[in-house]
Structure 1
Amino acid sequence: MDVATLMLIAYRAMDERVIAAMREAGYDVTVAQARLAQRIAEGGSRLVDLAEQAQVTKQTASMLVAALEQKGLVERVPDPTDGRARLIRFTDEGQAAADHARELVMGVEQEWNEHLGPRLASSLREALTSLRELVDPYR
C-alpha cells in the first residue's frame, strides 16, 4: 500500500472517532463542517480563505458556514481591517466545541503515540512535518 493511502486511512480513522465523540457530546456536525471549522483562525477568518484552505468552492464554504451558523457555532462579524469584508469566528459555544474536538484529537494522538512508542511517534511527526513543508502552501 502506498504511503498516501496509509496516511489517508489514519486521517479518516481520526475523523470518524472525533466526529462520533462530538456527536455523543451533543455537537451535531458533519465531517465537512468540522474540516472547515478546524481552519478558522483565532481572530476569525474570511470565507474565501476558509474555502481555499479546505479546498472547496466558495459556495460550498458558504453553505458549510451557514449550517454552522444555524447550529450557533460560528458567527459572521465585520472585519476590522476591511469594512467591506466579514470574518467567520467561533461563538462561545463554537469555541467550546473546537476546544473539545482538540482534546479528542490529542487523546487519539496519545493512543497512537503509545502504540508506536516514543521513537517511532517522534519520527512519524518529524517526517510528516517535513513533508508538509513540501506540499502545504497554508502552513
Structure 2
Amino acid sequence: MQSTRRNLPQLLGDARRWFEEGLLAALEADGATPVSPTQVQLFAVLDDQGTTVSELARRMGVTRQTAHQAVHGLVAAGLLEQVPHPASARQRLIRRTQEGEHAHRRAGLILERLEEQLAGRIGQDRVDALRTTLEARWGQPPIPGAE
C-alpha cells in the first residue's frame, strides 16, 4: 500500500505557493503592475546593486532563457532596468528602477502581513520554529554512495 504522506519538498513548495498567491492577490488588489510567480521569484533574488541574468538564473534554479524572459517583462513594465556591468563590457546588470524599488518595499510589507496572518492561524510559536529551522545551516546536499 502506497503512503499518502507528502514529502518535505512538496510541503515546502505548497508553503511557497501560499505566500506567492497571497502576495499576487494583494498586489492585484492594490492595482500594482501584474507580475508572474517567476517574476516575483526574480525580484526576491535580485541584489540591490544589480545582478547579471546568469546569476539570477542560477539563484532561481531556472534556465538563463527563463530568467531573461522574466527580466524582459519586468523591464517592459518599468520595474527593472539594464545597466552596464562595471567589471565586464559583455555583461549587463539588472537592477530595480525607482518604481521597482517601491514595488519591492510594498511586496515586503505584504509578506510581513501574510506571515502575521499565518501566525494567527497556526500560532506564533510554530512560525518562529519554522523560521529557525529554515534558517539553520543544512550543509551541502549528500552525494549518494559517498558516505
TM-score band w.r.t. shorter chain: 0.7 to 0.9
Q: Which has the larger radius of gyration?
A: 2
Q: Give the deviation of 1:86 after TM superposition.
A: 0.7
Matched, 1:28 2:34: yes
Q: Which moved more, 1:48-57 or 1:3-12?
A: 3-12
Hey, what does 2:76 align to over in structure 1? 70
Matched, 1:87 2:93: yes
| Runs of 4+, deviation exceeding 3 Å | 131-135
Q: Give the deviation of 1:94 after TM superposition.
A: 0.7
Closer, same or farther: CA 110–72 of 1 in aligned 2, 3 Å:
same
What is the identity, as a one-letter code, of the residue corresponding to 2:69? M
Q: Partner of 1:38: helix, strand, or coil?
A: helix
Hey, what does 2:52 align to over in structure 1? 46
Q: Give the deviation of 1:23 after TM superposition.
A: 1.9
Q: Give the deviation of 1:80 after TM superposition.
A: 1.7
**For 1:72 and 1:49, how far apart are their aligned partners in 2?**
21
Hey, what does 1:121 align to over in structure 2? 127
Higher relative helix content: 1
Unaligned runs of 5+ in 2: 1-5, 142-147
Unaligned runs of 5+ in 1: none
TM normalised by structure 2 equals 0.83
Percent of aligned pairs with the same residue?
A: 30
What is the identity, as a one-letter code, of the residue corresponding to 1:15? E
Closer, same or farther: CA 103–132 of 1 in aligned 2, 3 Å:
farther
Q: Give the deviation of 1:38 after TM superposition.
A: 1.5
Closer, same or farther: CA 132–30 of 1 in aligned 2, 3 Å:
farther
